[in-house]
Amino acid sequence: MSIPSLDLTADPIELTAALVDLPSVSRDEGLIADVVEQALRAQTDGFEIVRHGNCVLARTNRGRPTRVILAGHLDTVPIVDNVPSRRTMTDEEGDVLHGCGTVDMKSGDAVFLHLAATLADPAHDLTLIFYDCEEIAAEFNGLGTIERDLPGWLEGDVAILGEPTAGQIEAGCQGTLRVRFTATGTRAHSARAWMGDNAIHKLGRLLTTLSEYQPRRVDIDGCEYREGLSAVGIHGGVAGNVIPDEVYVDVNFRFAPDRSEAQAFAHVEEVFAAELAGGQVTAQVTDSAAGALPGLANPAAAKLVDAAGGRFRAKYGWTDVSRFAALGIPAVNLGPGDPSLAHRVDERVPVEQITEVTEILRDYLAGA
């Protein structure tokens, strides 16, 4: 089967549309990886290019004093009648490109690919990483595969993830922790409730503590991170006439990146110390991921902030910047598109944001 061609020198808006028109749902990125690899090999100069599974990596080795990593995932969530792409012009939204991945994050990929082909003499050495399986469980994430198998490719002075940020820098990211609180009791017929021990009732005080919790706000490098502690799931009960003998509630803690995962769990245990003290309620971590400090004081990152007109804010969600931060590399999110539109059936990006991010990065990478 012939591989479709991709013109990396085309306007990044057109390049975005071409990438969207290549379906690449997670675990099915083979075709788009083939197309990206072929285009990079044919249309860029001075890049070492490596294919690893469905990850495509390219880097220069020009002896520049700094190295910038540009990383973007190739996969999307499942398509819902939103491929191929289409472009509309309305009074409400202006010139907009629609389609699965326009926001998350084929527009960011298009910007990176275009710059790799058109930047004649960048001030930094560049590493481009296009990876698979970001939208599914972390165990399949292509960046994790690269970190394990090709760790040298993740060395750099600053990393830029093309995640959607509406064209302004979102620095670092928050950590996330999920804790399951479980209470047990004794099952009995509800007509003889005194013979049982109702597990659900034991979580009443925990839910009250949760509803009264006052989350912290913390400023790091001029970025305000807002923490949150929320119940996200609850399960209990056997039947309408049975006293339940077990119940659990899942609590998600989104914590600022000045806390480690261990410190985040210690804080959760402190908040619910009274509920846990009697031993009738237990706590178990079911999922955890570290946050990432913004690192904007790093000279390479500071220059990027300048190129973006000084516009930056904290990243509230979790992204793969955390992987780079764990390696000691300052990392930011910067890409076209409103993140609140990611994964939606009506996913769409204003085309002016694609142009804007391209110019911001062109100036930064050129050392302007």
Are 38 and 53 in the same domain? Answer: yes
Catalytic residue among 37, 134, 157, 170: 134
Are 261 and 324 in the same domain? Answer: no
pTM here is 0.86
Are 340 and 240 in the same domain? Answer: no
Check if 246 is active-site: no
**Per-residue confidence (pLDDT) for residue 354, from 0 to 100:** 98
Are 187 and 219 in the same domain? Answer: yes
HSE-CB for 15 with a 13 A CA cutoff: 26
Do the domain assignments include residue 243? yes
What CATH number has the domain bearing residue 106? 3.40.630.10
Are 159 and 307 in the same domain? Answer: yes
Do the domain assignments include residue 244? yes
Are 197 and 92 in the same domain? Answer: no
Are 312 and 253 in the same domain? Answer: no
What CATH number has the domain bearing residue 256? 3.30.70.360
pLDDT in tens, 40-57: 999 999 999 999 999 999
Catalytic residue among 29, 37, 75, 125: 75
DSSP state of 329: -
Range of the domain at 266: 175-289
Main-chain phi, psi angles of 297, to 5 degrees = -75, -15
Q: Which of 289, 314, 338 is the last residue of a domain?
A: 289
Ranges of the chain whose pLDDT falls below 70: 1, 368
**Per-residue confidence (pLDDT) for residue 1, from 0 to 100:** 59
Are 115 and 48 in the same domain? Answer: yes
Rg (CA), the chain: 24
Are 265 and 190 in the same domain? Answer: yes
Check if 95 is active-site: no
Q: Which of 289, 321, 354 is the last residue of a domain?
A: 289
Give the total number of structural domains in the chain.
2
**Per-residue confidence (pLDDT) for residue 86, from 0 to 100:** 97
Do the domain assignments include residue 180? yes
Are 104 and 159 in the same domain? Answer: yes
Do the domain assignments include residue 4? no
Region at 90 (left for phi over 0; alpha for psi -120 to 50; beta for the rest): beta
Do the domain assignments include residue 312? yes
Are 239 and 298 in the same domain? Answer: no
Are 125 and 180 in the same domain? Answer: no
Do the domain assignments include residue 3? no
CB-based contact 314:282 (threshold 8 Å): no
Do the domain assignments include residue 2? no
Do the domain assignments include residue 50? yes
**Per-residue confidence (pLDDT) for residue 368, from 0 to 100:** 63
Q: Which of 289, 321, 337 is the last residue of a domain?
A: 289
Coil, helix or strand for 323?
helix
Give me the residue label for tokens 């992204």: 319
**Per-residue confidence (pLDDT) for residue 249, from 0 to 100:** 97
